[in-house]
Structure 1
Amino acid sequence: MGCCNKLCGLKAGIGAGIAVAILGIILIPVGNNIIRETVTKESVIEPGTTAWENWVSADAPVYRQFWLFDVQNPLDVVENGSKPKLVEKGPYTYKTRYLPKENITANPENHTISFLLPAGAIFEPSMSVGSEEDSVTSLNLAVAVMSGLYEHNINYGALAFTRRTVREILWGYKDPILKGTLGLFFPYNGTYDGPYSVFTGKDDISKVSIIDSWQGEKKVSFWNNTYCDMINGTDGSSFSPFLDKKKPLYFFSPDISRSVSAEYERSLNLKGIEVYRFKLPPLTLASPAVNPDNQCFCTDSVVSKNCTLAGVLDITSSRGQPVYISLPHFLHGSPYLVEDVEGLGPSEEHHVTFLDVEPTTGFSLRFAKRLQVNMMYGPSKIITVLKKVKDYTILPIVWLNETASLDDKTADRFKKELLSRVDMLETVQFTLIGLGSAAFVLCTVAHCLVSRNNNKLVKHCFWFKGV
């Protein structure tokens, strides 16, 4: 009876192990559904969700770092047509995007929400190499504007290069000839970007954060082309949850007046959170000869060298002055862009734009948007000081790195409020499968051993009786 009880108990153990393992397997789709429902609910842009708290006002501080190019040989450039010799000065750092969104208005009829994004910049001396009053020799912005926008004979009696403070070049100064304020980012403080209208994801989570309209329009009007004028994707701060690394992420950037895409590069660990790194691919600013999709971004045969130039985007139509955007140090640009000046060193590590996105929620937890602002000068009959210049040169003025990363406090809250639930469900699933499998194996092995011993005992009894 003892052996029978053992065998019965072991059989029960095998059954229980199978049942527990099956329960763990069954919980996988159930748990996945719970995870998906939880993440979907928390990703909708509406009051009370995790997404809402991060969306209204970013917890992580956003900084804009500027590196200005100081021209070392301005007279030699003008009088002898020599290459500009550049020395990079920076970073000069400003805290930006510290103001919460304004005029937030829900539009339940089409599941969108509209808002204004206020602009502000506060200088951060502790994160800068010097003060805003540091001086830099750069291309005279007035000369660049005049040569780019005027076709009539004008004897503009100003220096081609001028020495200005960092504050003046970035944020503006009064020009005595043009009788107006000139500055690469003027006006900025006290202005607004938008209004934006984005989808909340309430009816379709795959559309969350996607821009429905910008400045009241479904598309931009800078490129006079249906494809190039499209507003695609989000603003880059978040994307739809449950990312597929095989698919690119699309986002719209008012700084360059167009939409771009980013491609998956690798997975990283950010403060204990797995993130996918997406990077701007080299084809983004490639010449139309290499990337035909960029043909409609080619708007000027002189600047683009008959649309063979790679690495520069002419945004004159949106800025109202001749400004050319590139990646810092002409990364991924045509070789002669770097060769036309001295002092540049393109680096994938330091100059590429990237987003680190948490794949389950689609939240961007770290990013670096890196752009370079350039202006052009060249031989001119209408600008007296440029008569001796031999060829057109796209001159780097400044490059910027707009960056943010979640801090320890935000990371801990993110893991506690959302990822811990996911981890707990996965732990329960695999624990049940593990325990059930272990019980099944152990009880099966024990059952075989007991059964074999019983068989030996029976044979021994029959042999003894025979004797």
Structure 2
Amino acid sequence: MFKKWLNPPITNYMYIYLFNWTNMQEATNHNVKPNFNQHGPYVFREKRSKEDIIWHDNDTMTFYNRRTWFFEEEMSGASLDDVIVLPHPPTVIAAKLGKNMNRYVKKVMNYALQTEGGMLAANKTAEKWLFKGFDDPLTEFAALFLTEIISFPLEKFGLLYLRNASKTYEGTYTIHTGQTNLSLLGELAEWQGSNQSYAFKGECGHINGSTGDIFAPKRIPEDSVSVFIPDTCRSIKLFPSERINYRGIETIKYSTNDQSFDNGQLYPNMKCFCSEKDEVCPPTGVIDMSSCLLGAPLYLSLPHFLNADPSYTDGITGMQPDPQEHDFYIIMEPRLGTPLNGNANMQINMLMEPDDSIDVMKDINEFYAPLVIISDRGDLNESFAKLIRNKYSFVAAMVILFLLDSEEIDRIDHKFLEPGHTHMEYDSDRALIERNIETPRDCYQFFISTMLSIKEWPLSEWREIKTKSLKAFFTVLDVEGRLSSSQIV
């Protein structure tokens, strides 16, 4: 299982869509709504690796999560050379950070924007908007002269600049190993060395959730799951939406709903996700990322503002939210806690606000501009899916290894469900079991010698296991009722 966690048996692809602002020249015309056309997808194959793993005495482990992306031109529906018009983030960020400063500082800010490349929108290639980044005179000027007013930590700007193949970008994760409490397996204990997020206070700042690739087994069907998103400094909660048979495996689909992106307007317990710096919190349906990203006016939503307040789509045109296409979900086998398929669907938006003291921002419409959709899609490979489909053989192997390691089991007593000859498929195998297995060592040796010929381990034929402590183990395991605790003495 540890090897599966290190190298997940899931093929991941990242689908990226950029939003082209088609009528930015009408930005000050209040009779015309800004229009954004979705462009893409740009598809990248993703490779994940856990690095610098440190094991702790308190049943936790710390690691870095490196993600490397490779462009898949044949799978993509657009070229990285495409020119896309987006709002100019350095200008918008500078205007936002200077909004509440005194008028003298704002005059300096306005002069800098006028003379050092400030603009409402920019046209760059998709490659530059994403990973490559682009040189920007405004960021260079701010780095030299405006360090006390505004901080641009990067010499270039790109939506995903410096992320590709970076070991440290996401920071360190510390998760529970589940060694003494299996219900905590995969649950985050700390991020960046702390159990509290710097972006939120109280319960909303508590670090929790999973990194998305491992969850605790034996899940209660009604319970939600949480996935931690480092760019928001918080987790997003997914709720069970339906039971589905996925590739022959009984699963539960966990999806977002109107609570997942709320800030207290619909659910009072989410109020602490409303940033204290905001005089009025944004309408429900987006996550304010500014506290996590040095004050940048960025907001996370589902693609096309799915499930969000109608004001977001009313302020612009081009949005077509579709629950089937734009949902954020995980399909999970609940007994093992294994994700089989998922789509981490997220849209990053930028708040565009008029500002009378900044010439380039004067008289514009106020709206949330969609910048990019990042859809991280994963699907279990067939070899591991086959192993899960044959779950009784998988569980039998776990049981046998447990028997072999146990020092308290003296004897295994097995009985057939029906006496005499039943002329069933496994009769010959049952006879071998009856004649040859009396101790855990016998069980292990028999299993190794016959595992290639037996199609499915007949676990249901083990009626009684003489032991002092194994009852609790099987009560937890349960095996979907095929071996209940009442059958274990």
**TM-score (ref. length: structure 1):** 0.75
The reply to whether residue 149 of structure 1 matches residue 109 of structure 2 is no
The 5-angstrom pairing of residues 31-430 of structure 1 reads 51-78=1-28, 82-96=32-46, 98-107=47-56, 109-151=57-99, 152-153=106-107, 154-155=110-111, 156-157=113-114, 158-171=118-131, 172-179=133-140, 180-191=155-166, 192=168, 193-223=170-200, 225-299=201-275, 306-307=280-281, 309-320=283-294, 321-389=296-364, 391-416=365-390, 418-422=391-395
For the 8 Å contact 2:59–2:177, the answer to whether it is kept is yes
**SS in structure 2 of the partner of residue 282 of structure 1:** coil
Give the superposition deviation at 1:210: 1.0
2:484 corresponding residue in structure 1: none
For the 8 Å contact 2:214–2:338, the answer to whether it is kept is yes
In 2, Cα distance between equivalents of 1:66 and 1:283:
25
Larger Rg: 1
Q: Residues 419 and 252 of structure 1: is their aligned pair in 2 closer, same or farther, counting only changes over 3 Å? A: farther
The one-letter amino acid paired with 1:178 is T
Instruction: Return the structure number with greater helix share.
Output: 1
The one-letter amino acid paired with 1:236 is G
The one-letter amino acid paired with 2:304 is H
Give the superposition deviation at 1:245: 0.5
Q: How many residues align?
A: 376
The one-letter amino acid paired with 2:137 is P
What are the Cα deviations for residues 145-177 of structure 1, in whole angstroms up to 9, with x where unaligned? Answer: 112112312132333111111111122211122
In 2, Cα distance between equivalents of 1:139 and 1:81:
19
**SS in structure 2 of the partner of residue 236 of structure 1:** coil
In 2, Cα distance between equivalents of 1:419 and 1:341:
53
Q: Residues 308 and 163 of structure 1: is their aligned pair in 2 closer, same or farther, counting only changes over 3 Å? A: closer
In 2, Cα distance between equivalents of 1:260 and 1:178:
32
Q: Residues 394 and 66 of structure 1: is their aligned pair in 2 closer, same or farther, counting only changes over 3 Å? A: same
What are the Cα deviations for residues 227-270 of structure 1, in whole angstroms up to 9, with x where unaligned? Answer: 11011232122211111101112332213221232211112222
Q: Residues 84 and 419 of structure 1: is their aligned pair in 2 closer, same or farther, counting only changes over 3 Å? A: farther
Q: Residues 424 and 168 of structure 1: is their aligned pair in 2 closer, same or farther, counting only changes over 3 Å? A: closer
Could you say what the CA RMSD is over the residues aligned between the two structures, in angstroms? 2.4
In 1, Cα distance between equivalents of 2:276 and 2:29:
27
For the 8 Å contact 1:300–1:306, the answer to whether it is kept is no
Give the superposition deviation at 1:294: 2.2
In 1, Cα distance between equivalents of 2:72 and 2:31:
38
In 2, Cα distance between equivalents of 1:93 and 1:150:
37
The one-letter amino acid paired with 2:32 is S
In 2, Cα distance between equivalents of 1:279 and 1:235:
16
The one-letter amino acid paired with 2:135 is K
In 2, Cα distance between equivalents of 1:421 and 1:59:
16
Give the superposition deviation at 1:363: 1.1
Q: Residues 168 and 355 of structure 1: is their aligned pair in 2 closer, same or farther, counting only changes over 3 Å? A: same
**TM-score (ref. length: structure 2):** 0.72
For the 8 Å contact 2:287–2:300, the answer to whether it is kept is yes
The 5-angstrom pairing of residues 7-46 of structure 1 reads none
What are the Cα deviations for residues 103-145 of structure 1, in whole angstroms up to 9, with x where unaligned? Answer: 11222x2111211111322111112112211111111122221
In 2, Cα distance between equivalents of 1:412 and 1:397:
40
For the 8 Å contact 2:330–2:339, the answer to whether it is kept is yes
**SS in structure 2 of the partner of residue 284 of structure 1:** coil
Between 245-254 and 72-81, the greater mean CA deviation after superposition = 72-81
The one-letter amino acid paired with 1:335 is P
The one-letter amino acid paired with 2:20 is D
What are the Cα deviations for residues 13-60 of structure 1, in whole angstroms up to 9, with x where unaligned? Answer: xxxxxxxxxxxxxxxxxxxxxxxxxxxxxxxxxxxxxx2121111222
In 2, Cα distance between equivalents of 1:357 and 1:257:
24
**SS in structure 2 of the partner of residue 125 of structure 1:** coil
For the 8 Å contact 1:173–1:183, the answer to whether it is kept is yes
In 1, Cα distance between equivalents of 2:76 and 2:284:
32
